[in-house]
Amino acid sequence: MTASTSPSQPDSHPTDNRRSWFAKLSIGLGALLGIPPLGSGIAFLLSPITRHKASRDSGFQKVTPVETLTPGIPRRFTISGNVTDAWNRYSRQLGAVYIIRETDAADSPTVSAFQADCPHAGCAVSFRSSSNNFQCPCHESSFSLDGKIANQNSPAARGLDHLETKIEDGFVFVKFEKFVKGTPEKISVS
Amino acid sequence: MKTLMKLADWFDDRTGIRHVLHEALYERIPGGAHWRYVWGSTLMFTFGIQMVTGLCLWAAYSPSSQTAWESVYYIQHEMSFGWLLRGIHHYTAQLMVVLLAIHVLQVVLYGAYRAPREVNWLLGILLLLVTLGLSLTGYLLPWDEKGYWATKVATNIMAIAPGGGKLQALVVGGTEYGHHTLTRFFALHAGLLPATLIALLVAHIAVFRRHGVTYSPRDSGETTFWPEQVCRDTVACLGVLVVILLLVLRHGFGPEGGANLGAPADPSRSYDAARPEWYFLFLFQFLKYFPGTQEIIGAIIIPTVVLIVLAAFPWIGRYQIGHMLNIFILSGLLLGTGYLTWIALYEDSKDNNYNLAVAEAEKNGKRAAELASVLGVPEGGASRLMLEDPKTQGPYLFSENCKMCHRWNGHDGRGYPVDGKPTASDLYQLGKEPEKWIRGMLEKPDDPQYLGNTAYADGAMVQFVKAHMNKASKNEIDALVALLLASTEDIATEENFRDQDVPPEPASPQAALIRAGLDVFELGFENAQEDSEAMSCLSCHAVGSLVSDGIEPGPDLTGYLAPDGKWLTRMILDPAHEQLYGSHNDRMPSFSKQLNDQQISLLVRWMQQNWPKKADPSNGQ
């Protein structure tokens, strides 16, 4: 299809200023017409970036009495809290954590806690007592009880994410956070 | 530049795009470019706006009866420029109806529907119907009161046609309006109808290109579509856009502007402001002239006949006289619909109850948005927020339960006038300005606002106040007022201090007044104490632990006007309780069996204006 040998404007007359003026005006106005719908539409679709709001409870949450934890054996707990999901505000499950009681001493127990999301792509890891480590069901990462990557072919860029803990009145409190997946550094998502 | 041209050449070689563009832009227009040809293009432009804004809105809209209003609220109030986007979508839809009418009128006046353009005329009528269908389905999607009720009416009318019941169930998604009504309307609005419209539009334009414009013999000269006609079209589109933006911005730049969003639909609440969109008002008005059994004539038969006549225009218009007849019919139709619309608007403007209902709907819509913003929407959806909101429910509860005897600032609580004379006090001041209330009561107890309409209008209280209040000093009145406004706990505290041999200094000026108030309450006014027959409040009323020694005591006034609303709650539950009006109770029924605790709490909190407010999110929750 190379029928039109002078593709620019075969019918245009270089002397016809009137037509050229019409053409310019049309293009100018045409561009103007697109601004309100497209402009507001783009601004609207960008809302999640331009209007970022805290969307869930942060801070320490009471999880369990220390005495229910057996030293050296991780236990999984569901963390609930208030969530703002667009227009909704309600309490629901935020995610899960693993808590391990480290010392046996009854008077000064210490615990550590991990985010149960795999730091690679966010699948939920689970504790396997047979191998005594954490396994990710998606890409075969495994993590030892201290959270470090346990298999060399793991695609994870970092070990399991430690969460801040404290013990008060015999209860374990965990500061529930989520972190950006896939990065070697631990970056909190607030 | 050269590379770019080469790329363009390559692309053209593979696609033939230049030929297509050339065909499209350099279409010959015999008779020259004209302003009267712009209307089709403005419709194309508005449809383009609807596609763009509609797709964006789609990205945030959630069709279900618990999320539709909520997501539209979020679009309108929380998302960047959501109000503008939604406003443009809303008003463009309205303007499309106007532009359609102009387009049809232009086509008929210039005979552009006549042979050989019959098919295009029919395609145009279908496009008109699809556009109206888009409006009708779009109106429901916010699931606010007005969309809900208007759609309910429209689909119920559908049901009166033969086989309409099944059709209605299909459209509504069952017998009740709910999740599936929204999913189905949304599928129609964003899927089937736009797809149909695009297909019809392609055919409409293709057939138009086949026959070209209808020019009159007076038109001379010939031009091409680009740029002369395009320029006129763009200028007209700009005019249309300006009108749309003026409509969107007329209430302000921000969420308060743009399209209105009413309160979430509540099937249990009558909605007296129910009206279809303005362009269906003529039909709404038209149906008023048909009694129940004949409604099918007005709703189905006549509109169908009108459509058939419209469809027959090209054949009627074969002869010049037929063409004149067509112009006459169309003008008649447009004038008729205009007239019916005007009557509908005029009657509404004169209808006081309708205007109050519109104001109430407006207020509820604002309140729903405020609650959603302050409290967030719970899992049950925003209608739960409204059901648990004193400010919203109070007026209805008052109107349903109290207005038979009481008034609220002269009306029924919702703002509607009440027939007949009140037989009890007007409670507006009691709730809203309790201090003003008690001062007024002590000054003019037989005012209709206080006891004037009750059995106590000439009772012991009125007589006592009239006889003794002139002896009261300003300080004594202030002290009594403070006592009656105080909570039960504050009164108990001051009473304990009062009984001590060396009472501690009052904690605040207010506490001092309460303590002084107890003295006045018990002993009466200083100026009247020599009078052997003098009485004090205690002669008839109790307060705190001070118990009246009267034979037939009046109500215990502990915490009478306290902000906790406990006294008021007890009064509503059981006015004839021995600590309240006892055997003297003047006709007030006990509401303990008529209203549940939540309703009474909503009523009392509404009366005392104790509801969640924007400035203070913790208030009341």
Task: Encode chain A (190 residues) as per-residue pLDDT tens digits.
Answer: 334 444 444 454 544 788 888 889 999 999 999 999 999 999 999 998 887 666 777 788 899 998 888 888 999 999 988 888 889 988 888 899 999 998 777 677 889 999 999 999 999 999 998 999 999 999 989 999 999 999 988 999 999 999 999 999 889 999 998 999 999 999 988 6
Q: From B299, B279, B277, B274, select the one nearest B289 (Cα to Cα).
A: B299
Minimum-distance CB partner of B234 among A4, A30, A51: A30
Cα separation of B330 and B306, whole Å?
A: 10
Minimum-distance CB partner of B19 among A3, A33, A51: A3
The answer to whether the CB of B498 falls within 8 A of the CB of B543 is no
**What chain B residue is nearest to A26 in terms of C-alpha separation?**
B231
**Of chain B residues 28-47, which have a CB less than 8 A from chain A?**
45
Q: Decide if domain A61-175 falls under CATH 2.102.10.10.
A: yes
Ordered DSSP codes for B43-86: HHHHHHHHHHHHHHHHTT---STTTHHHHHHHHHHTSTTHHHHH
Could A33 and B237 be called an inter-chain contact, meaning their C-beta atoms sit closer than 8 Å? yes
Query: How close, in Å, is residue B215 to chain A by CA atoms?
Result: 21
b/e string for B380-407 if b means 16 or more Cβ within 10 A?
A: ebbbebbbbbbbbbbbbbbbbbbbebbb
Cα separation of A72 and B516, whole Å?
A: 69
User: What is the pLDDT, as a whole number, of residue A52?
Assistant: 66
User: What is the pLDDT, as a whole number, of residue B380?
Assistant: 84
User: What is the pLDDT, as a whole number, of residue B450?
Assistant: 92
Cα separation of B312 and B355, whole Å?
A: 42
Instruction: With beta carbons under 8 A apart, name residues in chain B contacting A3.
Output: 19
Q: Residue B400 — φ and ψ, nearest 5°?
A: -80, -25
Query: How close, in Å, is residue B148 to chain A by CA atoms?
Result: 21
Could A4 and B18 be called an inter-chain contact, meaning their C-beta atoms sit closer than 8 Å? yes
Q: Residue B455 — φ and ψ, nearest 5°?
A: -70, -15
Find which of B377, B383, B385 to mutate to test the A interface (most A CBs within 10 Å of its CB): B377
Q: ipTM of this complex > 0.85? A: no
b/e string for B334-373 if b means 16 or more Cβ within 10 A?
A: eeebeebbeebeeeeeeeeebebbbebbebbbebbbbbbb
Q: Compute the residue count for chain B.
A: 621
User: How many C-beta neighbours within 10 Å does residue A101 have?
Assistant: 21
User: What is the pLDDT, as a whole number, of residue A7?
Assistant: 43
> Using alpha carbons only, what angle is made at residue A27 by residues A23 and A31, rounded to the nearest 5 degrees?
170
Find which of B42, B56, B70, B244 to mutate to test the A interface (most A CBs within 10 Å of its CB): B56
Find which of A40, A85, A92 to mutate to test the B interface (most B CBs within 10 Å of its CB): A40
Asked if B571 is an interface residue toward chain A (Cβ–Cβ < 8 A), one would say: no
**Residue found by looking up tokens 């003794």 in the block:** B468
Minimum-distance CB partner of A37 among B52, B79, B234: B52
Asked if B243 is an interface residue toward chain A (Cβ–Cβ < 8 A), one would say: no
Cα separation of B368 and B139, whole Å?
A: 19
Instruction: With beta carbons under 8 A apart, name residues in chain B contacting A90.
Output: 376, 378-379
Cα separation of A65 and A69, whole Å?
A: 8
Cα separation of B39 and B213, whole Å?
A: 12
Could A89 and B376 be called an inter-chain contact, meaning their C-beta atoms sit closer than 8 Å? yes
User: What is the pLDDT, as a whole number, of residue A3?
Assistant: 40
Could B80 and A87 be called an inter-chain contact, meaning their C-beta atoms sit closer than 8 Å? no
User: What is the pLDDT, as a whole number, of residue B620?
Assistant: 41
User: What is the pLDDT, as a whole number, of residue B130?
Assistant: 97
User: What is the pLDDT, as a whole number, of residue A51?
Assistant: 78
**What chain A residue is nearest to B239 in terms of C-alpha separation?**
A33
Domain ranges of chain A: 16-51, 61-175
Beta bridge partners of A149: A143
Minimum-distance CB partner of B73 among A25, A30, A87: A87
Q: SS3 for A112?
A: strand
The answer to whether the CB of B147 falls within 8 A of the CB of B140 is yes
Alpha-carbon A106 to chain mean position: 37
Could B235 and A29 be called an inter-chain contact, meaning their C-beta atoms sit closer than 8 Å? yes
Residue B39 neighbours by CB under 8 Å, 6+ apart: B99, B102, B103, B106, B236
- How far apart, in Å, do the first and last CA atoms of chain B sit? 67
Minimum-distance CB partner of B234 among A26, A50, A89: A26
Find which of A8, A45, A82, A88 to mutate to test the B interface (most B CBs within 10 Å of its CB): A88
Query: How close, in Å, is residue B231 to chain A by CA atoms?
Result: 5
Asked if B237 is an interface residue toward chain A (Cβ–Cβ < 8 A), one would say: yes
Low-confidence ranges of chain B (pLDDT < 50): 617-621
The answer to whether the CB of B339 falls within 8 A of the CB of B289 is no
User: What is the pLDDT, as a whole number, of residue B517?
Assistant: 92
Could B227 and A89 be called an inter-chain contact, meaning their C-beta atoms sit closer than 8 Å? no
Instruction: With beta carbons under 8 A apart, name residues in chain A contacting B45.
Output: 33
Per DSSP, B217 falls in state T
Which strand (E) or helix (H) includes residue A134? Answer: strand A133-135
- How far apart, in Å, do the first and last CA atoms of chain A sit? 57
Minimum-distance CB partner of A33 among B15, B85, B238: B238
